[in-house]
Amino acid sequence: MAIIGIDLGTTNSACGVWTGQGVELISNRLGDVLTPSVVGVDGSGEIMVGRTARQRLIHHSDRTVAAFKRLMGTDHKVTLGDQRFSATELSSLVLRSLKEDAETYLGEPVTEAVISVPAYFNDNQRHATKQAAELAGLTVRRLINEPTAAAMAYGLHEKQEGLFLILDLGGGTFDVSLLEFFDGVMEVHASAGDNFLGGEDFVDAMIDDVLAEHELSRDALPASAMQNLYLQMEGAKRRLGNAQTLSLKLGDREVTHEVTPEWFARVVTPLLLRVKHPIERALRDANLHPDKVDDVVLVGGSTRLALFRSTVGKMFGRLPSCHLDPDTVVAVGATIQAGLLARGEGLDDVVLTDVCPYTLGTGVINEDNPRLGDYFLPIIERNSVVPISVERHLSTASDNQTKMKIRIYQGENRLVEKNVYLGELSVTVPKGPRGQESVIVRYSYDMNGLLEVDVKVESTGKTYYQLIEHTPGALSEDDKARSLQRLAVLKFHPRDGEENRALLARGERLYESSLGDRREFIADLMGRFEQVLDRQNPLDIARVQKEVKEALDSLESEDWF
Amino acid sequence: MDPWRVLGLEATEDTRAVKRAYARLLKSTRPDEHPQQFQALHAAYKRALGLAEQRARAAAAGDTEPETETAGKRTEKASTATAAGTQPIPPETPEWPAPVVPDDPPAAPVEPEPAFQDQPPPPARDPEPAWAAAREREEEREPEEDEWLAASREHERLLTQCQALLEREGQPAEEKEWRFLANSAWMLDSAFHHGLGDALMARLVERLRQQDNKPPLDAVILAYLNSLFDWEGRRGLLAARFGDTAMDRVLAPLDTNSSGDQALLQGLRGGKETVPPSRQANTEPAPETLYFTGMTLRMVAIVIDLLVVAALLVMPIWVVSIVVADFNGTGGDISLESFMGVFLILAAPAYLLMALVMEAGPGQATPGKRMLGLRVTSLEFERLSFPHNLWRVMAFVVVNALTSKVVILVNLFLKGNLLHDRVSRSYVINWARSQREQKDEQ
- The count of CB pairs under 8 A between chains A and B is 179
| Catalytic (active site) residue A7 | yes
Pairing of strands A351-355, A185-194: parallel
Q: Is the dihedral of CA A467, A470, A474, A476 positive or negative?
A: positive
Beta strand A403-410 with A420-428 is: antiparallel
The partner residue sitting opposite B270, judged by closest CB among A61, A402, A470, is A61
- What residues in chain A have per-residue pLDDT under 50? 469
Nearest CA in chain A to B226: A274
Element (H, E) at A28: none
Letter string b/e over residues A355-374, b meaning 16 or more CB atoms within 10 A of that residue's CB: bbbbbbbbbbebeeeeeebb
Using a CB–CB cutoff of 8 Å, tell me whether A222 touches chain B. Answer: no
Name the minimum distance, in Å, from the CA of A558 to any CA of chain B. 21
Whether B157 has its CB under 8 Å from any CB of chain A: the answer is: no
Q: Which member of A69, A99, A130, A237 is catalytic?
A: A69
> Which H or E run includes B386?
helix B386-402
pLDDT of residue A315: 85
Contact B230 A63 (CB under 8 A): no
Between B200 and B413, the higher pLDDT residue: B200
Of these ranges, A236-240, B194-198, B399-403, the one predicted with the greatest mean pLDDT is B194-198
What is the ipTM, given to two decimal places?
A: 0.78
The beta-carbon neighbor of B269 closest among A57, A382, A403 is A57
Q: What is the pLDDT of residues B19-40, one digit of tens each?
A: 989 998 988 888 888 888 898 8
Cα A420 from Cα B360, distance rounded (Å)? 29
Query: Lowest-confidence range among A519-533, B8-22, B230-244, B254-268?
Result: B254-268
pLDDT, greater one: B173 or B295: B295
CB contact under 8 A, B268 and A70: yes
Residues 162-191 of A with CB under 8 A from B: 172, 182-185
The answer, yes or no, to whether residue B370 has pLDDT greater than 60, is yes
Taking the CA of residue B110 and the nearest CA in chain A, the distance in Å comes to 24
> CB of A83 within 8 Å of any CB in chain B?
no
Counting Cβ atoms within 10 Å, is residue B342 exposed (0-12), middle (13-18) or buried (19+)?
middle
Q: What residues of chain B, 219 to 238, have a C-beta less than 8 Å from chain A?
A: 227-230, 233
- Which residue of chain A comes nearest to B260, CA vs CA? A196
Nearest CA in chain B to A277: B230
- Chain A (2-21) residues lying within 8 Å, Cβ to Cβ, of chain B: none
Determine which of B14, B258, B268 to mutate to test the interface with A (most A C-beta atoms within 10 Å): B268
Dist CA A63 CA A79 (whole Å):
8
**Residue A224 DSSP symbol:** H
Mutate to test the interface with B, among A70, A203, A509 (most CBs of B within 10 A): A70
Q: Which of residues 380-419 of B touch A (CB under 8 A)?
A: 380
What SS3 state is found at A243?
A: coil
A269 → closest Cβ in B96, B188, B269: B188
Inter-chain residue contact A65 with B270, CB threshold 8 Å: yes
**Between residues 82 and 141 of chain B, which touch chain A (CB distance below 8 Å)?**
86, 88-90, 93, 95-96
Give the pLDDT of residue A473. Answer: 60
Q: Which residues of A touch B230 (CB under 8 A)?
A: 273-274, 276-277, 280
Q: Does A415 touch chain B if contact means CB atoms closer than 8 Å?
A: yes
Instruction: List the domains of chain A with CATH numbers.
Output: 3-197+271-355 (3.30.420.40), 360-461 (2.60.34.10), 498-555 (no CATH)
A67/B20 CB distance under 8 A: no
pLDDT category at B79 given cuts 50, 70, 90 is very low
Measured between beta carbons, the chain A residues lying within 8 angstroms of B227 are: 270, 273-274
Q: Give the pLDDT confidence score for residue B125 in this predicted structure.
A: 39
**What is the structure's pLDDT at B127?**
42
Note the pLDDT tens digit of each residue in A379-415.
998 888 988 889 999 888 888 888 888 888 888 877 7
Which pLDDT score, from 0 to 100, does residue A26 have?
93
Torsion angle (degrees, nearest 10) of CA B273, B275, B276, B279: 150
pLDDT of residue A495: 64
Alpha helices (H) in A159-252, listed in sequence order = 199-213, 223-238
* Cα dihedral B237→B242→B244→B245 (10° resolution): -150
Three-state SS sequence of B13-46:
CCHHHHHHHHHHHHCCCCCCCCHHHHHHHHHHHH
Number of Cβ atoms within 10 Å of the Cβ of B170: 4
pLDDT of residue A400: 82
pLDDT at B113 over 50: no
User: How far apart are the CA of B250 and the nearest CA of chain A, in angstroms?
Assistant: 15
Per-residue pLDDT, A474: 65
Residue A425, phi-psi category: left (phi > 0), alpha (psi -120 to 50), beta (remainder): beta
Q: Judge: A65–B255 Cβ closer than 8 Å, yes or no.
A: no
Closest residue in B to A314 (Cα–Cα): B189
Residues A37, A7 contacting (CB under 8 angstroms): no
A530: left (phi over 0), alpha (psi -120 to 50) or beta: alpha
The pLDDT value given to residue A331: 94
How far is B284 from chain A, CA to nearest CA, in Å? Answer: 13
B183 touches A at CB < 8 Å? yes
Of the residues A100, A134, A168, A327, only one is catalytic, namely: A168
pTM of the complete model: 0.74
Which H/E stretch holds residue B128? none
